[in-house]
Amino acid sequence: MHFVVLMGGPGAGKGTQARLLQAALGLPQVASGDLFREHFANNTELGKLARRYVDRGDLVPDEVTIAMIKERLSRLDNAGGAILDGFPRTIAQAEDLDLLLANMNERISVVPYIHVDSDILLKRLAGRWTCRAEGHVYHDFFSPPKMPGICDVDGSELYQRDDDTEETQRRRIDVYFRQTAPLLDYYREKELLVEIDGERSIDDIQRDLVEVIRSVA
């Protein structure tokens, strides 16, 4: 099994790349942000609890997030592993993930870090559109859909996320540098971190990611 942890700031392209990797390698994308948004759509208790954190751009408390991921990983069946997108985001989450995987006799294969400067992160978030049905991502300039407002893949409506206001975007980037960036050292020390230049085309980044993941497979 292969467990890949995709790291990168808000707007670095984790979701974009995780979806492509899912298609290229057959590993399912497990995205904590998407799971929270599913809970919002289904109006669950967990969703109600998480909403105020997500809307502000703050991290949802570790115990809630870890429980949600644990439940998702328990349903992987014979998927062959997963591409983790947006989880872990704190040292406590990373330590719990190590334990969770150890209980499954598994470990993280590699941690690609998609590196993008914060001014570019803001530009990417500002023009982002997300598909209502499956979370496919587009951008006004960098990756426009064929028909404005419609997903190329499944024809569903494109919307702008509630946490994509300028204020919340800045907050998310700030929270990322304060709370999540320390994880880079955590994985560097374990010799799992591989830095990828994220300020290139989506295709070039994807090519590097596939190569990095295949090299540990």
| Residue written as token pair 């598909």 | 131
Q: Is 54 in the site for ligand AP5 (CB under 6 A)?
A: yes
| Cβ proximity to ligand AP5, 159 vs 217, nearer residue | 159
Q: What mask of x and - would describe binding to Mg ion in positions 3 to 22, judged by CB under 5 A?
A: ------------x-------
Catalytic residue status for 124: no
The residue within the footprint of ligand AP5, chosen from 205, 209, 212, 213 (CB under 6 A), is: 205
Q: Is 86 in the site for ligand AP5 (CB under 6 A)?
A: yes
Angle, nearest 10°, between helix axes 14-25 and 202-216?
A: 50
Where is 4: in which H helix or E strand? strand 2-6
Catalytic residue status for 128: yes
Catalytic residue status for 172: yes
Catalytic residue among 51, 161, 170, 188: 161
Query: Within 13 A of 209's CA, how many CA atoms are on the CB side?
Result: 32
* Cβ atoms of 89 and 120 closer than 8 Å: no
The residue within the footprint of ligand AP5, chosen from 139, 145, 187, 208 (CB under 6 A), is: 139
Catalytic residue status for 132: no
| Cβ proximity to Mg ion, 2 vs 19, nearer residue | 19
Q: How far is the CB of 78 from ligand AP5 (least distance, A)?
A: 25
The residue within the footprint of ligand AP5, chosen from 5, 25, 59, 192 (CB under 6 A), is: 59
* Cβ atoms of 69 and 60 closer than 8 Å: no
Q: Is 25 in the site for ligand AP5 (CB under 6 A)?
A: no
* Cβ atoms of 80 and 1 closer than 8 Å: yes
Q: Is 7 in the site for ligand AP5 (CB under 6 A)?
A: no
39: left (phi over 0), alpha (psi -120 to 50) or beta: alpha
Q: Which does 11 bind (CB under 5 to 8 A by kind): Mg ion, ligand AP5, none?
A: ligand AP5
Give the CB-nearest residue to Mg ion: 15
Q: Measure the CA–CA gap between 33 and 154, rounded to whole angstroms.
A: 20
Q: Is 172 in the site for ligand AP5 (CB under 6 A)?
A: yes
Give the CB-nearest residue to ligand AP5: 33
**207 CB neighbour count, 10 Å cutoff:** 13
Q: Is 21 in the site for ligand AP5 (CB under 6 A)?
A: no
Radius of gyration of the chain (CA): 16
Residue type, 30: V
Residue type, 46: L
Which residues are known catalytic residues? Answer: 14, 89, 128, 161, 172
